[in-house]
Structure 1
Amino acid sequence: MWREMQPDQQFNVSVDGHNLVVYSFGEGDEVLLCLNGGPGLPCDYLRDAHAWLRDKGIRVVAFDQLGTGASDRPDDDSLWNITRYVAEVEQVRQALDLGRVHMLGHSWGGWLAIEYAIHHPQSLKSLILENTVGDIPHLISELERLRSALGSETVAMMQRYEAQGNLDHPQYQAAITLLNYRHVCRLDEWPAPVKRSLGDWNMGPYTTMQGPNEFLYIGNLKDWNRLEQMREFQMPVLITTGQHDELSPACALRMKLALHDQAELHVFPNSSHMPFYEEPQAYFPVLLDFLQRNRG
């Protein structure tokens, strides 16, 4: 289903004196605005997975967030906070005159989409929360559960190197690699857009906001929890996750319970953190059905 393709249009958007690069595929009033994960990743992996939806009459828009990809990369840690990123998303939406959009947030992009929906609900036709959470303290407890599956001696080793600040040790990195292949992408060969995004990762935003890796949250978002505010959402919401996702089905369920009846939840049994690559034949029909039912 997914395939790499050149954007139909490419824009430069100025945000507080910094340049952002925005990619657009297709045309029309049904706009899917994609917010990719990271923080600090170029949008390639999410953009290239979803761009083909232009063939279904959906305009797909994605952009390299500040500090990533072809956008400017200022060296200023004060820029790496979720409030500034919400303002950035709104400026992109206004600059391209997108109107009300379907907002798709994956991973960190899901936290950003939730925060955006709290402050700009009138700008959304629907909200798609992919492999994400509304409560990071709960996620941290889930990550501890996933780490524990490696065995008590491995967990003790990881905790020792974390306490020492020696996260580059080969033993520690081996444990992280195993967790990544279990809970980030379970494909033997990771798709080219994924490898391209990971190969151009700006660790500045990532370490400031999240932490040094996918399984240790010590950044400025470690206490972020918006479940209470999500109870006020009125827009249709689709929640997706993978059975083996690092941002687990238990995290997805907490969002579903907070959102009551207007949220739909789908768990893809053969996926971890990227069902659009791991299980596209199951994932895309769910997404397309949701978008078609919530056109407006």
Structure 2
Amino acid sequence: MDSNKITLEGYASFGAYRTWYRVTGDLRNGNTPLVILHGGPGCTYDYVDTFKDVAASGRAVIHYDQIGNGFSTHLPDKPPSFWTVELFLEELDNLLDHLGISDNYALLGQSWGGMLASEHAVLRPAGLRALIIANSPADMRTWVAEANRLREALPEEVQRTLLRHERAGTTDSVEYVAASRVFYDRHVCRIKPWPDDVARTFAKVDANPTVYRAMNGPNEFHIVASLKDWTIVERLKHINVPTLLISGRYDEATPTVVKPYLEQIPNIRWALFENSSHMPHVEERVACMGTVVSFLDECL
């Protein structure tokens, strides 16, 4: 059997809702499976689809769309207060139980997914064997401060456009979105044009921005929603599994942003991808997958 063939796709019931998932590889071959947590909050699995490459090493890879997004149940009428870290932690636990892997699994979280994976890991779940945090903040105030620093290097006209619309509350305007894209092309994904997987996720967020706006805000650097004061820095010392940190040289998750993970998690190593921004799994796909496979093979 082709080791990176999709072998299972379905839905896990989550209360009155459904979580869509997909398994690539053999979930029952004895190797610890890897669960992928996408970013956002409010993105979809599409832009992290490349991590299915890991299945070629003999380890099953599980993607899923977090509730409110993608193929999972959409809830556009829920108030912002509905969308919490606790909700997504419960959904993750439910998925692990549904797949029968809660006693043996590894997590890879990208951006917001890394925040969620860290929130899961600090609870020291018995079945967690390894953790990969990719391009994630440990403290949102630091993230915003660094984003503002990166913004200052954008062309002056772009900066003026962003500020003008933020002050006016017109961040959904075409002009503001176009100006934001200048930042994205430098610090989110530097491949032009964006690969189809990446473009597909952003199109889905545009079509259904409920979760993203409730928890984040209008974009990656204007954080005005419920996560604006989120931090996990003081709790990171509780993570007790081997951990890999991934980031890119041009990443919006700058070295200052990811530094708390390196300082606070006892058993951690760092892979910095020199030709990437926020998506080494796309921008340096082969090298990134090799790093992930080597780490998992070594510690599992």
Q: How does 1:228-247 map to 2 (within 5 A)?
A: 228-247=234-253
- Contact 1:252/1:265 (<8 A) preserved: no
Change (3 A) 1:251 1:24: same
Q: How does 1:5-44 map to 2 (within 5 A)?
A: 7-27=6-26, 28=29, 29-44=31-46
Alignment RMSD (CA, Å): 1.6
Q: Distance in 1 between matches of 2:169 and 2:272?
A: 36
- Contact 1:249/1:267 (<8 A) preserved: no
Aligned AA (2:64): F
Match for residue 114 of structure 1? 118
Q: How does 1:73-112 map to 2 (within 5 A)?
A: 73-74=74-75, 75-77=77-79, 78-98=81-101, 99-112=103-116
Match for residue 220 of structure 1? 226
**Post-superposition offset of 1:76:** 0.8
- Contact 2:172/2:218 (<8 A) preserved: no
1:290 to 274, 295, 298: 295
Q: Distance in 1 between matches of 2:191 and 2:157?
A: 27
- Is 2:276 aligned against 1:274? no
Q: Which TM-score applies when normalising by structure 2?
A: 0.92
Q: How does 1:140-219 map to 2 (within 5 A)?
A: 140-151=144-155, 154-201=158-205, 202-219=208-225
Match for residue 52 of structure 2? 51
SS at match of 1:71: coil
**Post-superposition offset of 1:146:** 0.6
Q: Distance in 2 between matches of 1:163 and 1:216?
A: 11
Q: Distance in 2 between matches of 1:24 and 1:153?
A: 46
Q: Deviations over 1:90-148 (max 9, x none)?
A: 00001110132110000110111011112243231011000111111111100000111
Q: Which runs of 5+ in 2 are unaligned?
A: none
SS at match of 2:229: coil
- Is 2:132 aligned against 1:138? no
**Post-superposition offset of 1:62:** 1.1
Match for residue 68 of structure 2? 67
Q: Distance in 1 between matches of 2:248 and 2:113?
A: 16
- Contact 1:242/1:268 (<8 A) preserved: yes
Q: Which TM-score applies when normalising by structure 1?
A: 0.93
- Contact 1:8/1:26 (<8 A) preserved: yes
- Contact 2:162/2:180 (<8 A) preserved: no
**Post-superposition offset of 1:154:** 4.0
**Post-superposition offset of 1:251:** 1.2
Q: How does 1:251-270 map to 2 (within 5 A)?
A: 251-260=257-266, 262-270=267-275
Change (3 A) 1:112 1:145: same
**Post-superposition offset of 1:79:** 2.8
